[in-house]
Amino acid sequence: MKGIKGATARRLNQRRGSHGRVWQDESLDRIVRDQAELEEKLNYMFLNPVKAGLTDDPDSYPGWFIKRK
């Protein structure tokens, strides 16, 4: 996780023209046990930019790459 977080943080900061932390310190992993849980987790991630006040339309938020039905 450290490598993934470091590489993506550098890239995001380069694209944004910013610097500093992007990720939180903890890296909790969990096995997704079934389709329902996968959909729950994806929906949670999909709505994060809305909850953070970054967008009103999560489908048009940059960085989301999954097309929802």
Cα–Cα distance for residue pair 35/67, rounded to 1 Å: 17
At residue 41, does pLDDT exceed 80?
Answer: yes
What pLDDT is recorded for position 63? 74
Q: Mean pLDDT for the chain?
A: 87
Distance CA 30, CA 20 (A): 27
d(CA 65, CA 67) in angstroms, rounded, equals 6
15 shares its domain with 41: no
pLDDT attached to residue 68? 64
Q: What's the alpha-carbon Rg for the chain, to the nearest Å?
A: 14
51: pLDDT strictly greater than 90: yes
38, 50: one domain: yes
**How long, in residues, is the chain?**
69
Give the residue-averaged pLDDT of 43-47. Answer: 90
pTM of the model: 0.55
- Same domain, residue pair 24 and 44: no
Residue 21 has what pLDDT?
Answer: 87
